[in-house]
């Protein structure tokens, strides 16, 4: 059987290591030789919007909830009346009604049918991400006008308009200074097997410098094994998805212990629920997607994945949440969608001139695993 095994990096338990911005000299000392067959497998433990909480990011407060937007839509006297404690039941009923439209539509399942104001956006200068359009300022070819961020490590030209649009929402901004529910939720989907993803690196001659590495970035249907602290167990086996649509081949290079890949379109399953009536088969979609990953001393890898997402797909998981996302979590999906559309900076439609995609950056972390690629015969058939 022509299965390709992505062999574990082996004992990468070395001293030192290299951050993405680490010096080449450090990396050269710290990183060991790769496995003899040049193949390394990983299971992703993190794939969620990259969040940097600067203190000046949201000077006017967090993005409004449905309730707040409803109150904002009222004349001041009516707003004041409804904010009285005695009016709470009425206010609750009315703002929840505000999330519902005619013909059984609602603000999250059908956000494009609701006209809501733009929500508060990131005002700070710093955000994690990659320079997707190659420009330090302004927009490159095929992009729309936007402001670039500076990365937390000082790199200029960072494209991450999705974070600009949603970074002031409660979903992104946890009250304790850490990332919000969006990050926890997305990473949890990796643990439950709903979005589980693998990386298979091939042709790795050196973890320090290698001018060509092939990367299979794929969905796996195999559920990760977690320990009692919900950490992923290393050395488990995973098969690349049978669906060729969710097997993406990227090419890249390693420089000073940091793997970067060339832009490529990427699709991965974004299943919600394990089938049945709750099952929804959505997709992660990235255009011009690329990695920047640093090999870590403990054998894991960490870094970013950046690319342009179709605007609506950025909040697709919330859309699937339907009315509950609006009335329980309080998310104003229509406001989020309108903001994303306004901030869209990529995938310009040559006919309309409108950008249909928005730059985004995902935090990525992965631990060693055995990754079984699809049999060559199956790939040929597809």
Identify the residue whose tokens are 């949890």. Answer: 188
- For residue 51, give both structure tokens: 């969040």
C-beta neighbour count of 190 within 10 angstroms: 21
Shortest Cβ 202–other proteins spacing (Å): 15
User: Applying CB under 8 A, does 136 fall inside the site for other proteins?
Assistant: no
- Considering only 37, 153, 231, 377, the residue that binds other proteins (CB under 8 A) is 231
Inter-residue contact 311 to 161 (CB < 8 Å): no
Beta strands 237-239 and 370-372: pairing type? Answer: parallel
Nearer to other proteins, 39 or 316 (CB): 39
User: Applying CB under 8 A, does 370 fall inside the site for other proteins?
Assistant: yes
CA 314 from chain centre, in angstroms, equals 8
Please name the residues in contact with 310: beta carbons below 8 A apart, sequence gap of 6 or more.
Answer: 285, 287, 347, 356, 357
Segment interacting with other proteins, rule: CB under 8 A, options 78-86, 224-232, 281-289, 342-350: 224-232
Alpha-carbon distance values, 73 to 76, 92, 178 (Å)? 9, 15, 31
Nearer to other proteins, 97 or 242 (CB): 242
- Tell me, residue by residue from 166 to 205, as one string, x for binding to other proteins by CB under 8 A and - for no binding: ----------------------------------------
Helices (H) and strands (E) in the chain, counts: 9, 13
Nearer to other proteins, 7 or 179 (CB): 7
Residues touching other proteins: how many (CB under 8 A)? 20
Nearer to other proteins, 144 or 371 (CB): 371
d(CA 69, CA 15): 53
- Tell me, residue by residue from 232 to 271, as one string, x for binding to other proteins by CB under 8 A and - for no binding: -xxxxx-x--------------------------------
- Considering only 3, 84, 136, 328, the residue that binds other proteins (CB under 8 A) is 3
Beta strands 355-368 and 301-310: pairing type? Answer: antiparallel
- Tell me, residue by residue from 37 to 76, as one string, x for binding to other proteins by CB under 8 A and - for no binding: ----------------------------------------
- Considering only 229, 278, 351, 381, the residue that binds other proteins (CB under 8 A) is 229
Three-state DSSP state, 113? helix
Sheet holding 5-6, edge to edge: 5-6, 370-372, 237-239
Residue closest to 291 by CA, chosen among 327, 332, 254: 254
Shortest Cβ 198–other proteins spacing (Å): 12
User: Applying CB under 8 A, does 377 fall inside the site for other proteins?
Assistant: no
Binding residues (CB under 8 A) for other proteins: these are 1, 3, 5, 7-8, 11, 222, 225, 227-229, 231, 233-237, 239, 370, 372
């Amino acid at each position: 059987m022509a299965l390709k095994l992505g062999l574990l990096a082996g004992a990468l338990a070395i001293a030192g290591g290299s951050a993405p911005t680490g010096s080449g000299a450090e990396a050269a000392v710290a990183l060991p030789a790769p496995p003899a067959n040049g193949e390394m497998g990983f299971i992703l433990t993190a794939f969620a919007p990259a969040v940097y909480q600067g203190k000046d990011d949201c000077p006017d407060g967090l993005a409004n909830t449905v309730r707040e937007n409803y109150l904002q839509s009222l004349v001041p006297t009516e707003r004041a009346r409804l904010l009285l404690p005695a009016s709470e039941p009425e206010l609750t009923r009315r703002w929840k009604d505000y999330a519902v439209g005619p013909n059984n539509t609602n603000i999250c399942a059908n956000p494009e049918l609701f006209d809501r104001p733009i929500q508060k956006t990131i005002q700070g200068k710093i955000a994690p991400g990659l320079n997707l359009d190659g420009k330090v300022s302004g927009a490159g070819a095929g992009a729309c006008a936007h402001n670039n961020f500076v990365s937390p490590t000082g790199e200029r030209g960072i494209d991450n308009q999705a974070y600009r649009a949603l970074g002031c929402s409660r979903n992104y901004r946890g009250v304790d200074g850490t990332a919000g529910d969006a990050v926890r939720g997305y990473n949890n989907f990796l643990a439950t097997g709903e979005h589980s993803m693998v990386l298979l690196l091939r042709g790795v001659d050196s973890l320090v410098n290698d001018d060509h590495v092939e990367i299979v970035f794929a969905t796996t249907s195999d559920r990760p094994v977690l320990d009692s602290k919900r950490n992923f167990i290393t050395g488990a086996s995973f098969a690349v998805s049978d669906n060729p649509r969710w097997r993406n081949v990227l090419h890249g290079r390693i420089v000073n212990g940091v793997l970067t890949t060339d832009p490529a379109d990427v699709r991965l399953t974004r299943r919600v629920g394990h089938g049945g009536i709750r099952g929804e088969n959505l997709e992660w979609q990235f255009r011009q997607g690329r990695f920047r990953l640093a090999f870590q001393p403990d054998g894991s890898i960490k870094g970013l994945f950046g690319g342009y997402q179709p605007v609506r797909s950025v909040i697709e998981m919330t859309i699937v949440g339907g009315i509950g996302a609006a009335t329980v979590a309080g998310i104003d999906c229509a406001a989020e969608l309108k903001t994303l559309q306004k901030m869209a900076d990529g995938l310009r439609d040559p006919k309309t001139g409108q950008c249909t995609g928005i730059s985004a950056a995902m935090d990525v972390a992965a631990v060693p695993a055995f990754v079984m690629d699809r049999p060559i015969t199956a790939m040929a058939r597809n």
